[in-house]
């Protein structure tokens, strides 16, 4: 070996050592564990799959177990992040050492899907859907339903109501809306993740209610719009606060969100939106993070994942039945995400 060849070999070896020492050979692998709301699960799972495909060193496992279970897992510190449509109670947040950061990551409509294939354009007044879920309206051809569906062939059959069996943020948002609309509902049933429903067969998760609607004749249940859309379930057109009958669309959901302001804590509710074009049951849904992570690689990966969800991820929302966040909300969420370290 000549002197020049020897020097070249030494330089290549030294360069390889430098690259290895700088971490240039391989990025650190990070696995993130999340659990919670079923409402945004189809969108989150799409995000996480797309992100992991582009960043093979970061793997994200999300379990759609319901908002209540997600919050519990977060408080028990058995996950890296939670997800909830009911946000998180201040008293529960106070129990988490180091602080909690809630970030609204998407929004969506809660729809009343049903199995009446012969009545695809079913309209339900506020009195009608309150009556159904209060157990006061029990047949499909009830005069209160027939009144706003004069040309529909409503069956002389029982209404089989399907409700959630688990601690559910979707239930929380739905009962919050019903409680806002009706003082009697607020007093008798109230806003709750697991209310004592006076009527209904129970199914677990948005997935469970969707499956029940597909197999139970004469049924109706509340689910996130994307679930109904994916299974081609008929969806009721609902009367809003202004007295208009509105179908769930991106436009009617955006109109609903526009009626509320996003406060500094990023927990906003639009329980009975104003405006003739607003769909009446729309909500943000939140991811829940610790403000401080012992594992800084996880914190860095989570911030990158959040940024993806707020940018490229928003472009995937509408196709799956969700509502892209308003630009001003994205700006606020991005700023809040910087507190995660």
Query: How many structural domains comprise the chain?
Result: 2
Instruction: Assess whether 265 and 302 both reside in one domain.
Output: no
pLDDT at 26: 59
Instruction: Assess whether 224 and 126 both reside in one domain.
Output: yes
Task: State the sign of the Cα–Cα–Cα–Cα dihedral 324, 326, 331, 333.
Answer: negative
pLDDT at 28: 84
The CB density around residue 298, as the number of other CB atoms within 10 Å, is 19
The answer to whether residue 135 is domain-embedded is yes
Q: Give residue for tokens 């994916």.
A: 230
- Nearest C-alpha neighbor of 266 from the set 336, 163, 193, 192: 336
326: left (phi over 0), alpha (psi -120 to 50) or beta: beta
The answer to whether residue 247 is domain-embedded is yes
For the question of whether the overall pTM of this predicted structure is more than 0.95, the answer is no
The CB density around residue 224, as the number of other CB atoms within 10 Å, is 31
Instruction: Assess whether 128 and 101 both reside in one domain.
Output: no
Instruction: Assess whether 273 and 154 both reside in one domain.
Output: yes
Instruction: Assess whether 177 and 243 both reside in one domain.
Output: yes
pLDDT at 36: 97
- Tell me how far apart the alpha carbons of residues 98 and 79 are, in angstroms, rounded to a whole number: 15
Instruction: Assess whether 103 and 187 both reside in one domain.
Output: no
The answer to whether residue 173 is domain-embedded is yes
* Residues of the chain predicted below pLDDT 50: 1-25
Instruction: Assess whether 133 and 243 both reside in one domain.
Output: yes
The answer to whether residue 177 is domain-embedded is yes
């Amino acid at each position: 070996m000549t002197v020049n060849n020897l020097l070249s070999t030494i330089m290549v070896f030294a360069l390889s050592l430098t690259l290895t020492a700088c971490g240039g050979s391989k990025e650190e692998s990070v696995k993130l564990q999340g659990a919670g709301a079923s409402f945004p699960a189809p969108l989150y799972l799409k995000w996480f799959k797309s992100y992991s495909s582009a960043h093979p060193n970061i793997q994200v496992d999300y379990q759609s177990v319901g908002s209540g279970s997600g919050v519990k897992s977060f408080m028990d510190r058995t996950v890296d992040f939670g997800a909830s449509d009911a946000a998180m109670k201040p008293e529960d947040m106070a129990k988490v050492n180091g602080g909690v950061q809630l970030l609204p990551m998407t929004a969506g409509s809660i729809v009343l899907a049903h199995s009446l294939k012969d009545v695809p354009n079913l309209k339900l007044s506020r009195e009608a859907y309150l009556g159904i879920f209060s157990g006061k309206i029990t047949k499909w051809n009830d005069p209160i339903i027939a009144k706003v569906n004069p040309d529909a062939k409503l069956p002389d059959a029982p209404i089989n109501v399907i409700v959630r069996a688990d601690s559910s943020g979707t239930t929380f948002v739905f009962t919050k809306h019903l409680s806002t609309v009706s003082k009697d509902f607020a007093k008798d049933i109230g806003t709750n993740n697991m209310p004592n429903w006076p009527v209904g067969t129970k199914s677990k998760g948005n997935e469970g209610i969707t499956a029940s609607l597909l197999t139970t004749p004469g049924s109706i249940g509340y689910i996130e719009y994307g679930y109904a859309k994916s299974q081609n379930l008929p969806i009721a057109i609902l009367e809003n606060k202004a007295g208009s009958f509105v179908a769930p669309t991106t436009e009617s959901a955006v109109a609903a969100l526009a009626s509320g302001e996003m406060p500094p804590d990023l927990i906003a509710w639009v329980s009975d939106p104003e405006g003739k074009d607003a769909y009446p049951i729309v909500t943000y849904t939140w991811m829940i993070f610790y403000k401080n992570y012992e594992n800084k690689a996880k914190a860095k990966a989570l911030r990158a994942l959040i940024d993806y969800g707020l940018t490229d991820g928003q472009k995937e929302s509408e196709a799956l039945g969700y509502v892209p966040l308003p630009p001003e909300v994205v700006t606020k969420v991005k700023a809040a995400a910087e507190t995660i370290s």
